[in-house]
Amino acid sequence: MASKKTVVIGFLGTQLDYAGKGSPRWDKWRPTVALCQQEEFVVDRLELLHDARSRGLAERVGLDIASISPETEVRRNEIELRDPWDFEEVYTTLHDFARRYPFDPETEDYLIHITTGTHVAQICWFLLAEARTLPARLLQTSPPRKKEVANSIGAYEIIDLDLSRYNKIAQRFAGERADSLSFLKSGIATRNPGFNRTIERIEQVAGRSKAPMLLVGPTGAGKSFLARRVYELKRQRQQLAGRFIEVNCATLRGDSAMSSLFGHVKGAFTGAQSERPGLLRSADGGLLFLDEIGELGLDEQAMLLKAIEEKRFFPFGSDREMASDFQLIAGTHRDLRQWVRDGRFREDLYARINLWTFALPGLAGRPEDIEPNLDFELERHAREAGRQVRFNVEAKRRYLAFAASPEARWAGNFRELGASVTRLATLAEAGRIAESLVDEEIAHLRHAWSDGAAPDVVDEVLGAQAAEIDLFDRCQLASVITVCRTSGSLSEAGRKLFAVSRQEKKQANDADRLRKYLGRFGLSFEALSNSGRR
């Protein structure tokens, strides 16, 4: 097979290529001429770009090249360029040239000479080559060094924009991507192949697209957590400047749904005593996470579709449009395809948010990821409680064997695992989780997952007030209630609960500390003790 012809495209250097009046002066380095003097690099054709004012110089350069490289065909391309420093004009001119040029990559190899021309021209050459509008590599020539003889032709270098060819750059990109993947997983070394592939895709899409994402998975699978990590990753990459706004659509009903999402004007409905901006406006320039998007009413879905596509919407009760340029991540545990068929979810909205859909499996579907998430939850407990807790070797083996078994339902997924670890860490003596405590926790989980399971102990004791307590406090309180119900006195319960911290606070009164803790929730040891004996 015959080798390809080498074709170089470049500007005439009105200053660098000028040799002075009279005969050619070979003691001056002229990049376009020197390019054709290279012994090991043969230019078969030179496409020389110049304007009408430089016609004479272009002819002289063509003659000089013919005298030193007769095998090089010089084609002069006269272009109209009023201001070579005007980016728009230069880019448009070069783009038009590239569109008209009869490229034949099968038989010719193309190079762009970037040494000559203005800096604006160099930038435009790069952009066109990077976009493959010009199927070419970059070629740079350099003058001789001071130690070389005066008439040296200098050097040249070919720059290939395929970054995968450059080892150190490729390694750096691979390292940065690995860091991004770890960031999305919060540093948890997950082992499930399917989940890891999903995270890789999310990282790619997050870095390259502003289109909506749809996260599908059961409650507690980590949709909200992952949406926030995507937002933080985009912020790091300077892709977002606004806020992260999260709303659970299941909590929106009636007028409050319209008002919460799109805002309202004063007097829009009974009780609307002042204007409200709404969550979509609050997310301007940022990311809006709509969890359980399937719970939105059809009217809200129609308005949301307009806001996604046009970045404009009408606040409730207003005839004046508002603008908000937000990015969207939606979450759901529903089968939205079935809901579309049932008429409960708009088909056009589903089509709009279904461009990038990622399924997040529940904890039971990722048994190999239980151990790294267990370690993560222990580290989180240490940060929040200021107390390091670790498993005994046999205790950890026993817990993991049960957690990964078919018996473990993990109905609440990672949220439920976090609650389980919180109970274990809170009751651990001397910072160690023993086998007996693991056995007690396994019994608790089995009971919770059994048919007709008793109501949560916090719900049982506090009733409606339990809904106002954070998950962390709820888990802690549930463990304290269990200890109180199995202790003979307030002091005995205090000794069990504060066995470690008592060593640091030598004069601490365990009973008084427990009494004050229970008082925060309006509880007393006597009431808990009696309720446990019913």
Check residue 310 and give its pLDDT.
92
Taking only the tens place, the pLDDT of each residue in 98-130 is 999 999 988 999 999 999 999 999 999 988 888
Tokens of 528: 């808990």
Q: Does residue 293 surpass a pLDDT of 90?
A: yes
- What is the amino acid identity at position 514? L
Top pLDDT among 430 and 180 is at 430
β-pairing, 45-50 with 5-11?
parallel
> Strand, coil or helix: what is 128?
helix
| 314 vs 223 pLDDT, higher one | 223
Element (H, E) at 48: strand 45-50
pLDDT for position 400 = 94
The lowest-confidence range among 57-66, 163-172, 234-243, 498-507 is: 163-172
- Is 363:410 a contact under the CB 8 Å cutoff? yes
Beta bridge partners of 139: 113, 158
Tell me: pLDDT of 452 over 50: no
**Whole-angstrom distance, CA of residue 19 vs CA of residue 28:** 7
Residue 23 has pLDDT above 60, yes or no: no
pLDDT confidence of residue 454 = 42
**What pLDDT, on a 0 to 100 scale, did the predictor assign at position 238?**
86
Q: Give residue 223's pLDDT.
A: 93
DSSP string, 358-385: EE---GGG-GGGHHHHHHHHHHHHHHHH
CATH architecture under which domain 171-361 falls: 3-Layer(aba) Sandwich (3.40)
Model pLDDT, residue 163: 52
Q: What is the pLDDT of residues 254-282, one digit of tens each?
A: 667 888 888 767 755 666 667 777 899 99
pLDDT of 504 over the 90 cut: no
Q: Which residues pair with 345 in a beta bridge?
A: none
Q: Assess whether the region 5-161 and the region 363-454 belong to the same CATH fold.
A: no
For residue 532, the model assigns a pLDDT of 53
Would you state the pLDDT for residue 268? 57
Average pLDDT of the segment spanning 292-307: 91
Question: What is the structure's pLDDT at 508?
Answer: 65
Average of per-residue pLDDT across 310-338 = 88
Residue-wise pLDDT for 343-380, tens only, equals: 999 999 999 999 999 999 888 888 899 999 999 999 99
Q: Answer yes or no: is pLDDT of 325 > 50.
A: yes
Q: Is 521 left (phi over 0), alpha (psi -120 to 50) or beta?
A: alpha
> Which pLDDT score is estimated for 132?
82
> What does the alpha-carbon distance between residue 298 and residue 21 come to, in Å, rounded to a whole number?
80
Average pLDDT over every residue of 222-246: 92
Measured CA to CA in angstroms, residue 223 lies from 246, 289, 389, 399 at distances of 11, 10, 27, 26
**CA 534 – CA 524 distance, rounded (Å):** 16
For residue 191, what pLDDT is reported?
86
pLDDT at 26: 60
Q: 6-15, 327-336, 464-473: lowest mean pLDDT where?
A: 464-473
∠87-90-91 over CA atoms, to 5°? Answer: 80
Quickly state the pLDDT bin for 237 (edges 50, 70, 90).
confident
3-state secondary structure 260-274: HHHCECCCCCCCCCC
**Domain 363-454 class?**
mainly alpha
- pLDDT at residue 19 above 60? yes
Domain ranges (residues) in the chain: 5-161, 171-361, 363-454, 456-534
More confident: 456 or 91: 91
d(CA 220, CA 411): 8
pLDDT higher than threshold 80 for residue 505: no
SS (H, E, C) 185-217: CCCCCCCCHHHHHHHHHHHHHHHHCCCCEEEEC
CA distance 143 to 157: 12
- Smallest CA-to-CA distance from 210 within 355, 359, 350 is with 355
- Residues 397-441: tens digit of each pLDDT: 999 999 988 888 888 888 899 999 999 999 998 899 999 999 999
Maximum average pLDDT range among 139-148, 310-319, 377-386: 377-386
Helix axis angle for 167-184 and 193-208, nearest 10°, is: 110
**Average of pLDDT values for 298-312?**
92
Average pLDDT of the residues in 508-512: 81
Mean local confidence (pLDDT), 196-219: 91
| pLDDT band at 485; cut points 50, 70, 90 | confident
Alpha helices in 386-434 (DSSP H): 393-403, 413-427
What's the confidence (pLDDT) of residue 22?
53
* CATH entry 3.40.50.10770 includes domain 5-161: yes
pLDDT at 200 over 80: yes
Please report, rounded to a whole number, the percentage of residues in the chain having pLDDT higher than 90.
Answer: 43
Q: Please enumerate in sequence order all residues whose Cβ is within 8 A of that of 264, keeping only pairs 6 or more positions apart, or say none.
A: 258, 272, 275, 276, 278, 315, 316, 317, 318
Among the ranges given (7-16, 56-65, 139-148, 157-166), the one the predictor scored with the smallest mean pLDDT: 157-166
